[in-house]
Chains A and B, each alone.
Chain A
Amino acid sequence: MRLIYTERQKQFREEIRDWLAAHVPKAPLPSFDTEEGFEAHRRWEATLFEGRWSAVTWPKEYGGRGCDLIEWLIFEEEYWRAGAPLRVNQNGVFLLAPTLMEYGSDEQKARFLPRMASGQDIWAQGWSEPGAGSDMAAIRSRAVRDGDHYVINGQKTWSTRAVWADWLFGMFRTDPASSRHHGLTFILLPLDLPGITIRPIKQLNGLPGFAEIFFDDVRVPVENRLGDEGAGWNVAMATAGFERGLMLRSPARFQQTARKLVDLYLRHRESADADPGIRDAVMKSWMDAEAYTLATYRTASRLGKGAKIGAEASTNKIFWSELDLLMHETAMRILGPYGELMPEAPDGGPFGHEHAAWLDGFLFAQAGPIYAGTNEIQRNIIAERMLGLPR
Chain B
Amino acid sequence: MDFTFEDQQLAFRDAIHKFLMVEAAPEMLREIWETTKSGRSAELRAKLADQGLTALSVPEEFGGINLGDLDWVLVQQELGYFAIPDSLTDAAYLAVYLLTHLPADINLKRDWLPRIAAGKARIAVGHPLNPFVADAANADLLLLWHDDEIHALKPGQITASFNPSIDLSRRLYKVDWTPSPATRICPAKQGRQLWKDLADRAALAAAAQLLGLAQRMLDLGVDHAAQRKQFGKPVGSFQAVKHHLADVAVKIEFAEPVIHRAAQAVAEDDPRRALYVSHAKLAAGEAARLAGRRSIQAHGAMGYTWEADLQMYMKRAWALDASWGDAKFHKARVAADILAGAAAIGPSTTFPNMNPESHHG
Contact = CB atoms under 8 A, between A and B. Distances in A.
Interface in B328-361: 331, 334-335, 338-339, 341, 343, 345-351, 354-356
Contact of B236 (A2, A291, A386, A390): A390
Contacts of A70: 1
Nearest to A266: B341
B3 A294 contact: yes
B213 interface: no
Contacts of B331: 280, 283
Interface in A235-271: 251-252, 255-256, 258-259, 262, 265-266
B180 to A, nearest CB: 43
A177 interface: no
A305 interface: yes
Given A379-B243, A383-B243, A315 B338 contact: no
A291 B243 contact: no
Contact of B3 (A3, A78, A282): A3
B57 interface: no
A301 B261 CA distance: 14
A4 B355 CA distance: 7
A305 B355 CA distance: 22
Interface string B65-94: 000001000000000000000000000000
Contacts of A294: 3, 257-258, 260-261, 350
Nearest to A13: B348
Nearest to A293: B350
A283 B237 contact: no
B282 interface: yes
A283 B346 contact: no
B257 A291 contact: yes
Interface centre among A282, A378, A387 (most CB of B within 10 A): A387
B72 to A, nearest CB: 13
A287 interface: yes
Nearest to A6: B1
B347 A265 contact: no
Interface in A1-51: 1-6, 9, 13
B222 A388 contact: yes
Contacts of B239: 376, 379-380
B225 interface: yes
Interface centre among A2, A3, A76, A298 (most CB of B within 10 A): A3
Nearest to B327: A280
B177 interface: no
Given A3-B261, A283-B331, A390 B70 contact: no
A288 B254 contact: yes
B199 to A, nearest CB: 20
Nearest to B259: A294
Given A78-B347, A81-B346, A389 B3 contact: no
B2 A2 contact: yes
B308 interface: no
B1 A287 contact: no
B230 interface: no
A290 B3 contact: no
Contacts of A286: 334, 338, 345
A329 interface: no
A9 to B, nearest CB: 6
B249 A382 contact: yes
Contacts of B279: 287, 290
Interface residues of B, number: 54
B311 interface: no
A378 B343 CA distance: 35
Given A291-B254, A315-B250, A315-B253, A283 B334 contact: yes
A150 interface: no
A287 B283 contact: yes
Contacts of A2: 1-2, 356
A255 B346 CA distance: 5
A320 B247 CA distance: 13
A287 B4 CA distance: 21
Interface string B224-246: 01100000011011010111011
B4 A298 contact: yes
Contacts of A382: 246, 249-250
Nearest to B261: A294
B12 interface: no
B255 interface: yes
A9 B354 CA distance: 15
A6 B350 CA distance: 15
B253 A1 contact: no
Contacts of B233: 390
Contacts of B249: 312, 315, 382, 386-387
A78 B348 CA distance: 7
Shortest beta-carbon contacts, A-B, top 6: A259-B346, A383-B242, A294-B257, A77-B347, A252-B347, A379-B246
20 contacts: A1-B3, A1-B5, A3-B3, A256-B347, A266-B341, A283-B334, A288-B254, A293-B350, A297-B3, A301-B2, A301-B4, A304-B2, A319-B254, A379-B242, A380-B239, A382-B246, A382-B249, A382-B250, A387-B222, A389-B245
Given A256-B346, A388-B222, 5 more contacts: A262-B343, A287-B334, A291-B254, A295-B253, A300-B3
Interface of A: 1-6, 9, 13, 70, 74, 76-78, 80-81, 251-252, 255-256, 258-259, 262, 265-266, 279-280, 282-283, 286-288, 290-295, 297-298, 300-302, 304-305, 312, 315, 318-319, 376, 378-380, 382-384, 386-391
